[in-house]
Amino acid sequence: MSNLADQHCAPCEGGTKPMDAETAKVHIKQLSSKWQLADDANSITGEFEFKNYYRTTAFVNAVAWIAHSEDHHPDITFGYKNCSIFFTTHAIDGLSGNDFISAAKIDRLVD
């Protein structure tokens, strides 16, 4: 299997089935421990902590650049020293490979 972070997101249209729970469990193991798979396996959430607001906002801006570049957009919330990133593929109402590809690219920001 190739490295998720080296792949690119593909357009995902409605009518495609979301990733099943077993496949999602395999994919989540390829991400850092900052990511958690939801109990229903329909989303993943990453929790990140930083030294200060400057580093947090720099990270958020880098995540936004990845989202724009890959045309796959997470929900992002952040505060002074923390950031939460939530991925699901809305078009299919569940997880797709795009969610894990984007998360892997985000992991590279904090390695």
Tens of each residue's pLDDT in the chain, 111 residues: 359 999 999 988 777 899 999 999 999 999 999 999 999 999 999 999 999 999 999 999 999 999 999 999 999 999 999 999 999 999 999 999 999 999 999 999 997
Asked whether residue 48 is domain-assigned, the answer is yes
Asked whether residue 9 is domain-assigned, the answer is no
Confidence (pLDDT) at 111: 72
CATH number, domain with residue 81: 3.30.1360.20
Radius of gyration over alpha carbons of the chain, in Å? 13
Asked whether residue 86 is domain-assigned, the answer is yes
Asked whether residue 51 is domain-assigned, the answer is yes
Asked whether residue 10 is domain-assigned, the answer is no
> 36 is in which domain, residue-wise?
19-110
Yes or no: say if 13 and 91 are a contact pair by the CB < 8 Å rule. Answer: yes
Q: Is the pTM of the predicted complex or chain greater than 0.85?
A: yes
